[in-house]
């Protein structure tokens, strides 16, 4: 039996691999703007966001997840309802998002 990745799956796997290998420090302000536009409908993106399990705040995510876990959840989320997900998961935007989320840890 041969194993072939479908094109979207192969592309996503390549992005995931590249994200871990080439990860750099992102732009905090750009990460905040991306979060405000794409994530704030479901997540509380403020530094003092409540700690809850259902649609966790970015502050809770920063507190309980490592930088690598945050990056991996952006690249391959556990749920399929993240709106316009593919629009911001390009280039340095991943680094920007991770930098912003992790800035909320304190």
Q: List pLDDT tens digits, range 48-93.
A: 988 877 889 999 999 999 999 999 888 887 776 776 666 666 768 8
39 located within any domain: yes
pTM for the predicted model, two decimal places: 0.72
How many other β-carbons are positioned within 10 Å of the β-carbon of residue 73?
16
pLDDT greater than 60 at residue 41:
yes
86 located within any domain: yes
Residues in the chain: 106
Average pLDDT of the residues of the chain: 78
3 located within any domain: no
26 located within any domain: no
pLDDT of residue 89: 67
Domain that holds residue 89: 33-103
What residue ranges in 10-61 does DSSP mark as E strands? none
Tell how far CA 94 is from the center of its chain: 6
pLDDT of residue 3: 45
10 located within any domain: no
The total number of structural domains that make up the chain:
1
């Amino acid at each position: 039996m041969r194993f072939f990745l479908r094109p979207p799956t192969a592309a996503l796997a390549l992005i995931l691999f590249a994200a871990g290998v080439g990860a750099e420090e992102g732009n905090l302000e750009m990460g905040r703007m991306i979060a405000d536009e794409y994530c704030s409908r479901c997540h509380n993106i403020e530094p003092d966001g409540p700690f809850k399990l259902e649609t966790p705040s970015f502050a809770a995510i920063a507190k309980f997840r490592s930088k690598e876990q945050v990056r991996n959840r952006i690249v391959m989320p556990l749920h399929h309802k993240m709106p316009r997900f593919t629009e911001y998961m390009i280039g340095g935007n991943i680094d920007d998002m991770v930098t912003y989320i992790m800035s909320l840890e304190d």
